[in-house]
Amino acid sequence: MSDDEIILSELSDDELVQQMHDDLYDGLKEEIEEGTNILLERGWEPYKVLTEALVEGMRIVGEDFRDGILFVPEVLLSANAMKAGMFILRPLLAATNAPKQGKLVIGTVKGDIHDIGKNLVGMMMEGAGFDVVDLGINNPVENYLNAIEEHQPDLIGMSALLTTTMPYMKVVIDTMKEKGIRDDYVVLVGGAPLNEEFGKAVGADAYCRDAAVAVETAKQFMKRKHNVHASA
């Protein structure tokens, strides 16, 4: 059976969700828009469409990107398709008070202009219910400090793809320490050349090897934070 013959509206819910994972993987924007609308018409909660069809689909894309099975152009197409679905869901999510997890400020550090991994993390975080403030690429420490002051986030995310720009993460964290604000925020770091040891060495709270791990890690920290507040 060729792809042309798959009529999305004739698929069962489970089949449609599976098909949307495949369509996201293949970066098929229009199919994702159609699938999103069909699930909504069938009475799915916007949050359920987001998590089960889109976020889960992007999790698979993110893992295959990390493992070198998918490459940048393909991931860009997938991200574009996800954005199209998010565009439909975002106003509905806002109206239904979908659970909010917390706020994340994320950016690629100074000297580094890579943003695919960062964008994937931002998108997955937004999908998981975080407010995301994306600072873009090539961020000096001032950008992080200004964003912290303006947005009062719960989490700070830093990304680097070059071994030469990785050490700049320590500059940001050390500056936060000097200003006495380091302990007020959870700092997550990520990027292809990083590892667990590096995360510890620069003083981050956690190293996240991919977007899916970043979301889970962020959720755990937020849970801990709420528990601390509850018992305080």
pLDDT per position as a tens digit, 97-130: 777 889 999 999 999 999 988 998 998 898 888 9
Q: How far apart are CA 232 and CA 102, in angstroms?
A: 19
User: What's the pTM value of the predicted model, to 2 decimals?
Assistant: 0.82
Element (H, E) at 190: strand 186-190
Report the pLDDT value the prediction gives residue 89, as an integer from 0 to 100.
93
- Using CA atoms, how far apart are residues 228 and 86, in angstroms rounded to an integer? 32
Write down the pLDDT at residue 100.
82
Q: Which among 7, 31, 5 is positioned nearest to 20, based on CA atoms?
A: 31
* Contact yes or no for 30/40 (Cβ under 8 A): no
Q: What one-character-per-residue DSSP string does 82-149 give?
A: HHHHHHHHHHHHHHTTPPP-EEEEEEEBTT----HHHHHHHHHHHHTTEEEEE--SSB-HHHHHHHHH
Which tens digits make up the pLDDT trace of 154-201?
999 999 999 999 999 999 999 999 999 999 999 999 998 999 999 999
Task: Answer yes or no: is pLDDT of 1 > 50.
Answer: no
Q: How far apart are CA 111 and CA 182, in angstroms?
A: 23
Reference 54, options 87, 102, 9; nearest CA is 87
Query: Band of the pLDDT at 4, cuts 50, 70, 90?
Result: low
Across the range 18-47, mean pLDDT stands at 97
Domains annotated on the chain, with CATH = 7-98 (1.10.1240.10), 99-232 (3.40.50.280)
Residues 154/222, Cβ–Cβ less than 8 Å: yes
